[in-house]
Amino acid sequence: LKASVKSAADLLSLPSTVEGLQKSVASIGNTLNSVHLAVEVIQKTVDEHRTTLGLLQGSMENNGSNQILPSPSPPSELDNKSHSESAKQDILYLHNSLEEVNSTVVEYQRQNDLKLKGMSETLSNLTQRLSLIESHVVALSKAEQRTNVSSSTMENRAATLKRESLVTNRSDTVQAQSMKKEDNSNSQVSELREKLQLISALTNKPESNRPPETTDEEQVQNFTSDPSALPEFSQLLRNQIETQVKPLSLPGISSIKDLQDLFHKTGQDVDGMLTYQELWNSLGSAMPRPESLRAFDSNGDGRYSFLELRLALGI
């Protein structure tokens, strides 16, 4: 292709598709047909000129034979000379016309040869280009097959990774749930331990007087080893608290969240301590009597912790 195409203009003039090649071949065929018709017309014209030239030559020969015969009078000889002169001029004109026709035919043939040569070169270039296009199509089909194979491999790999991620997420979820259950158990155990400490402080019973089976540590260990006993133990604690001290009611305090807000309102956190006066200043005259709250003061210092107030409110 590089050897046959001389410039970029020649390359751009070539058709880029098979349909363009078919159109070029059809136009070349039409051009050949028109050239063939023109050659036939010229050939007919030459034949007509030859026929006319033959007729003129025959008439000149007849005139020559008439000139050999004796003429009866001089005027007839002058007429024959004038007629022969006119015939010679006609013959010269026909010769010139025939030469022009011959030169025209030669020029047409030369142009046709050039057109045929150009068309043959174009056809060879198009053939080479078609072979290149076919080789490119084959290469593209192979590349597409490789791409399909690689894409299917990637899809399989993505599906495998997705399954692995689902398994990992499930295991993480199970682990998180188990950790959450452990945290809940630990928080319940710590809460029970605090309640036991409060009960022991309120009842003011020494550890030596308690029966061995009811000590705090043993109960906590038993409920830790047997989590199913936690609800029963909570109910037991609640019953003991209700039998010993009746819960109080503070105005506007009905939940743990309200109690936390009360501590924050007085500038304390849940680890702080509030006096009766601070509670009265925050809640107003609807506060219960000091004697009622004093029953829940485990150390008797006149200050109430977050756990003591929870126990007093029964929340």
Q: What is the CATH number of the domain that holds 279?
A: 1.10.238
- What is the CATH number for 120? 1.10.287
Q: Are residues 13 and 139 in the same domain?
A: yes
Q: Are residues 12 and 135 in the same domain?
A: yes
Domain end, chosen from 151, 171, 206, is at: 151
- By DSSP bridging, strand 273-275 and strand 303-305 are antiparallel
Give pTM, 2 decimals. 0.26
What is the DSSP code string of 71-119? PSSHHHHHHHHHHHHHHHHHHHHHHHHHHHHHHHHHHHHHHHHHHHHHH
- Residues with Cβ < 8 Å from 309, sequence gap 6 or more? 250, 259, 274, 296
What is the C-alpha to C-alpha distance for residues 2 and 22, in angstroms, rounded to an integer? Answer: 23
Tokens of 266: 């007085």
What backbone phi and psi angles, to 5 degrees, belong to 269? -105, -175
How many domains does the structure of the chain reveal?
A: 2
Q: Are residues 129 and 13 in the same domain?
A: yes
Tokens of 133: 């296009």
pLDDT digits (tens, 9 = 90+) for 149-199: 888 888 888 888 888 888 787 767 767 776 776 666 667 777 777 777 777
Does 274 fall in a domain? yes
Most confident listed range (75-84, 194-203, 206-215, 305-314): 305-314
pLDDT digits (tens, 9 = 90+) for 113-125: 888 888 888 888 8
Three-state SS sequence of 116-156: HHHHHHHHHHHHHHHHHHHHHHHHHHHHHHHHHHHHHHHHH
Does 304 fall in a domain? yes
Does 229 fall in a domain? no
Asked if residues 59 and 87 have their Cβ atoms less than 8 Å apart, the reply is yes
Does 40 fall in a domain? yes
Does 305 fall in a domain? yes
Does 121 fall in a domain? yes
Q: Are residues 252 and 130 in the same domain?
A: no
Domain carrying residue 89: 8-67+76-151
Tokens of 110: 């030369």
Domain end, chosen from 151, 168, 193, is at: 151
Does 231 fall in a domain? no
- Residues with Cβ < 8 Å from 60, sequence gap 6 or more? 84, 87, 88, 91
